[in-house]
Amino acid sequence: MTVRFLALAATSTIGTCLFALWVWKLRSRRKQGKVKFGREIREQEFVISKEVSPCNNGSFGATPRPVLRARQRFVDEAEDNPDDFFVSSKAMIYYEESLLTVADFVGAKMEHLVFVQNTTTGINSVMKSFKFNKGDSILVSSLTYPAIVNMAMDVCDNSDKELQFIKVNINFPIHGKDEVIQKYIDILEANPSIRVAIIDHITSSTALLMPIQELIQACHDRGVQVVIDGAHAPGQVQLNLEQLGADYYVGNLYKWLFAPRPSAFLWVNQKHYKTVKPLVTSHNYQQSLQNQFYQQGACDYSQYFSSEAAIQFYQDIGGYEAVSQYNREMVEWAMEMLAEAWQTECLPIPDDMRAPFMGMVALPEGCIINVPTTVSRDYTEKLKEEIHNKYKISILLGYIQDRFWCRLCSHVYNSKEDYFNVRDAFLDMKMENSKIS
Ligand SMILES: Cc1ncc(COP(=O)(O)O)c(C=O)c1O
């Protein structure tokens, strides 16, 4: 019995030491920038299926192994003694530590930041606690994420203040930032009822980097508050939220920053501290913004707590500079390669409005047939699923100005092979269709 116990202890001690050594070696390799982006980092650090070509990081992100392990440690700790974890100050301490790390990363004061599950929740929280006057309007754009447009419609439909929502149309080609800024100015001047504008930092299925600093200024000059939808920004662009000076900024941590799903933050300008409320009212009603958002019934906070590990991972692999250089080069190469192979074109937008890690390429003529007269999001989602099942490629499809486009994403685990698979899938679809007709 004693011998067996000692053997077991020795094995587990040796096991633990070996594991710690492996983690330490991996970490120092990452720190020295020796884990190569592409295949190597994908195999070592991600659990993405070998079968798939994952070119759609922009939708759900991908969580690396060390972050998954960190999350599991928090889950285990909570399970070990739930009362102690949630009721004592333990969870609150982890929450504040995580918030502080995220605040540092996005250039925010910790007091201005709260965790929310995702961008949709964050923007809903802002808009559903907004103090509207009778006849006010909400401004969105033709490129606003559809779920957020629905939310704006819902706010208008369910208010007794006769609210309206107004859309600014942004069409392609876009020749320069000024063109977009002018469109906003024109619509703001023509509609003095606009009280709040929801502006995407990076648009979803058009991959456009919006000139948000100038748009915030244009809105503020006309007394309009601004909610920035930064679903795609953290990790993809560098942020300094205090300097940016929006009224509200919501950003996902799970898309480009390696945090587990769902996790996002909401930044609130101090001016609006007292008006913003979470969607769920709980014990901390009427307390500080942070207390109200922290306590929304019994919650799982493990994904928020692991944002520290996610940011650590991002920094260990080289931080913004290394990640950005790899992804920009890859996405640019992939767009050119595909446009040439398909004999199509990239979405006509100026270089300084391109999302750094995402890009749009028109699909080859004839690869999608029997197109309905109205192409809905449901239709493109169904198509995407069929393509995924047949060719094992993950991409987002967009339908812009009567044409199909695919949105390419690049993150550090992508390699050129992924985009060659995308190329071949659509060429194969085109060939199959040509046999039918
Ligand atoms: C621009 C934009 N806003 C909002 C969302 C919604 O994000 P979430 O699903 O995290 O709420 C997305 C999702 O991709 C998006 O692209």
When computed from its CA atoms, the radius of gyration of the chain, rounded to whole angstroms, is: 24
Q: How far is the CA of 231 from the centre of ligand 1 (A)?
A: 5
Protein residues whose CB sits closer than 6 Å to any atom of ligand 1: 59, 118-120, 145, 147-148, 200, 204, 229, 231-232, 252, 264
**Of 290, 300, 294, which Cα lies nearest the Cα of 261?**
300
276 three-class SS: coil
- For 323, residues 6+ apart whose C-beta sits below 8 A from its C-beta are 235, 314, 317, 411, 412
Which pLDDT score is estimated for 89? 84
List Cα–Cα distances, 164 to 6, 128, 191, in angstroms.
73, 14, 11
**Of 314, 285, 272, 277, which Cα lies nearest the Cα of 102?**
314
HSE, CB side, 13 Å, CA atoms: give it for residue 346.
19
CATH of 319-436, one of 3.90.1150.10, 3.30.565.10, 2.60.40.1930, 3.30.70.1070: 3.90.1150.10
- Give burial (CB, 10 Å; 0-12/13-18/19+) of 249: buried
Pairing relationship of beta strands 358-362 and 403-409 according to DSSP bridges:
antiparallel
Write out the residue limits of the CATH 3.90.1150.10 domain(s) in the chain: 319-436
| Nearest ligand 1 atom, CA 229 | 3
What is the distance between the alpha carbons of residues 307 and 400, in angstroms, rounded to a whole number?
Answer: 35
What is the distance between the alpha carbons of residues 421 and 39, in angstroms, rounded to a whole number?
Answer: 15
How would you write 179-193 as a 3-class SS string? HHHHHHHHHHHHCCC
Backbone angles phi, psi at 325, to 5 degrees: -60, -45
Q: How far is the CA of 70 from the centre of ligand 1 (A)?
A: 25
List Cα–Cα distances, 192 to 176, 223, 389, in angstroms.
26, 9, 49
Give pLDDT tens digits for 75-104. 999 999 999 999 888 999 999 999 999 999
User: Would you say 151 and 127 are in contact if contact means Cβ atoms under 8 Å apart?
Assistant: yes
Tokens of 189: 């001047």
Q: Closest Cα to atom 12, ligand 1: which residue?
A: 231
What is the distance between the alpha carbons of residues 404 and 172, in angstroms, rounded to a whole number?
Answer: 14
From 59, 60, 115, 119, mutation site for ligand 1 pocket: most ligand atoms within 8 A of C-beta: 119
State the Cα angle at 132 between 129 and 136, rounded to 5°: 140
**Of 327, 264, 318, which Cα lies nearest the Cα of 118?**
264
Q: How far is the CA of 145 from the centre of ligand 1 (A)?
A: 7
Q: Closest Cα to atom 16, ligand 1: which residue?
A: 204
**Of 404, 240, 415, which Cα lies nearest the Cα of 327?**
415
Ramachandran assignment for 319, one of left (phi > 0), alpha (psi -120 to 50 degrees), beta (any other): left
List Cα–Cα distances, 279 to 12, 65, 138, 293, in angstroms.
46, 32, 19, 9
Q: How far is the CA of 119 from the centre of ligand 1 (A)?
A: 6
What is the distance between the alpha carbons of residues 252 and 260, in angstroms, rounded to a whole number?
Answer: 10
Residue 226: Cβ within 10 Å count: 23
Q: How far is the CA of 307 from the centre of ligand 1 (A)?
A: 18
Q: How far is the CA of 143 from the centre of ligand 1 (A)?
A: 12
What is the distance between the alpha carbons of residues 167 and 150, in angstroms, rounded to a whole number?
Answer: 12
In DSSP notation, 80-141 reads H-HHHHHHSSHHHHHHHHHHHHHHHHHT--GGGEEEESSHHHHHHHHHHT--PPTT-EEEEE
For the chain, which residues score pLDDT lower than 50? 1-11, 19
CATH 3.40.50.300 fits 87-312, yes or no: no
Write out the residue limits of the CATH 3.40.640.10 domain(s) in the chain: 87-312
